Homo-oligomer: A and B are copies of this chain.
């Protein structure tokens, strides 16, 4: 099960897309994308747990929870349409209406997503004009997929897209996707939006279950800055165009799909964490030997979210006390004097803590390891058999700059 070369959200059969410069907030760049499935697709979705939910989240959740079927997704970057009250929700309806007029896709089959500043309304006329323009330029070409992945970016420094292929029932099935932003836990200008497409035939219930389960181990394990956005959305559309026997039970076919889904979600989670606002490095934290899987997740998230650990990764400083400190305040029981810490990267591997105290390591080697763009911290607890991985990034001057200045 390998990644396709130049895979995009349009790699699965029966999906087309387009993008346009609608002038929502950015100048001189594309800021809207449209995805269309030729056939109605089963849709699964997971959304922000924030009590303050943006209008598009409410709109999409309604569709996912009722019909579970969709054919189009309209995305805009620049303005989040969050904290906009009834007007914000009406704007989602207007957008779906524009899609119906342009493409004869029923009103209630269009999903919407927005990312950007909270508390502002995207201009309705520009959204509608954008939809009309995109409806005329729909294409299944690779280039259209690449352009869509760029159009949904905010403070992202690179587009994030991928696709994998696998066989089910003698048919080639493809799963593609694009995403933007930097996590569940995360800046308001840089909401996590993720759009997954597949030509797999699968029941709507299993599609949702597969997504809901996998999100817990992938996107929910990213942290950039501890702020859970009002707009976080992950949508997965399955249109059945691969013509495989429909998956309706948790058989081997289902497992194969789950494996593909996990592969692409893990890929995206790492991409988002590594492209966190202002980041110079991807930080991966593996907790091993925890009593329970929940403990392992809590501990991994605590380390990856610590401002001090993040600043130390930026400084390439092997100041391991901060990691032990972050494990210690996670609220999980463990014996600090059984802990081992290891730093790993392309530059090598070094044991820095044994039995909770300094292991007597080479400072020079540790600094070298921490100077790579992808760094792994392994925390071994010797409390049990469970493990978990979380992803984050370093805390840099640029994070502060982006978030102190961006609106001005």
Chain A, residues 384-408, CB within 8 Å of chain B (1/0): the string is 0000000000011101110111011
Does A123 belong to the interface (CB within 8 Å)? no
Q: Does A319 contact B (CB under 8 A)?
A: yes
Number of copies: 2
- Inter-chain contact B329/A227, CB cutoff 8 Å: yes
Whole-angstrom CA separation of A397 from B403 in the bound complex = 11
Q: Encode contact with B along A310-351: 1 for CB under 8 Å, 0 otherwise.
A: 011011010111101111111011101100000000000000
Interface pairs (8), CB distance under 8 Å: A51-B328, A82-B325, A117-B321, A118-B319, A120-B358, A314-B400, A315-B405, A395-B400
Residues of B within 8 A of A353 (CB): 83, 119
Interface size class of A (residues with CB under 8 A): 35 or more
Q: How far is the CA of A200 from the CA of B305 in the complex (A)?
A: 43
Q: Is the CB of B404 within 8 A of A314?
A: yes
Question: How far is it, in angstroms, between the C-alpha of A250 and the C-alpha of B8 when the chains are bound?
Answer: 70
Are B227 and A407 in touch, CB under 8 angstroms? no
Alpha-carbon distance between A237 and B70 when the two chains are bound, in angstroms: 68
Tell me whether A85 and B337 are in contact in the complex, defined as CB-CB below 8 angstroms, given that A311-B404, A321-B188 are known contacts.
Answer: yes
Residues of B within 8 A of A83 (CB): 321, 324, 336, 353, 356-358
CB interface residues, A 201-239, toward B, < 8 Å: 225-230
Whether B308 and A227, one on each chain, are in contact in the complex, defined by CB atoms closer than 8 angstroms, is yes
Q: Are A329 and B188 in contact (CB under 8 A)?
A: no
- Considering only CB atoms, which chain B residue lies closest to A367 in the complex? B408
Task: Pick the residue among B50, B306, B315, B334 that contacts A325 (CB under 8 A).
Answer: B50
- Given A50-B328, A357-B84, check contact A320 B403 (CB 8 Å): no
Q: Which B residues are in CB contact (< 8 Å) with A357?
A: 83-85, 119
Which residues in B have their C-beta under 8 angstroms from that of A397? Answer: 397, 400-401
Report the minimum CB–CB distance from A83 to chain B (whole Å): 6
Q: A85-B356, A311-B403, A407-B317 are in contact. Are A227 and B326 (CB under 8 A)?
A: yes
Asked if A187 CB lies within 8 Å of chain B CBs, one says yes
Contacts of A317 in B (CB 8 A): 404-405, 407-408
Chain B neighbourhood of A324, CB < 8 A: 52, 83, 118-119, 230
**CB-based nearest B residue for A319:** B407
Chain B residues whose CB sits within 8 angstroms of the CB of A18 once the complex forms:
none
Task: Indicate if A6 sits at the interface (CB-CB under 8 A).
Answer: no
Residues of B within 8 A of A325 (CB): 50, 52, 82, 118, 188, 227-230
In A287-320, the 8 Å CB interface with B consists of: 305-308, 311-312, 314-315, 317, 319-320
Q: A51-B329, A225-B308, A308-B227 are in contact. Are A117 and B408 (CB under 8 A)?
A: no
- Interface check A80, CB cutoff 8 A: yes
Contact with B along A112-129 (1 / 0, CB 8 A): 000001111000000000
Contacts of A355 in B (CB 8 A): 85
Q: Given the complex, which residues of B lie within 8 Å of A227, measured CB to CB?
A: 306-308, 322, 325-326, 329
Chain B residues whose CB sits within 8 angstroms of the CB of A230 once the complex forms: 321, 324-325, 328
Which residues in chain A, 64-101, are within 8 Å of chain B measured between CB atoms? Answer: 80, 82-85
On whether the beta carbons of A320 and B119 are closer than 8 Å, the reply is: yes
Q: Inside 8 A of A315's CB, which chain B residues have their CB?
A: 403-405, 407-408
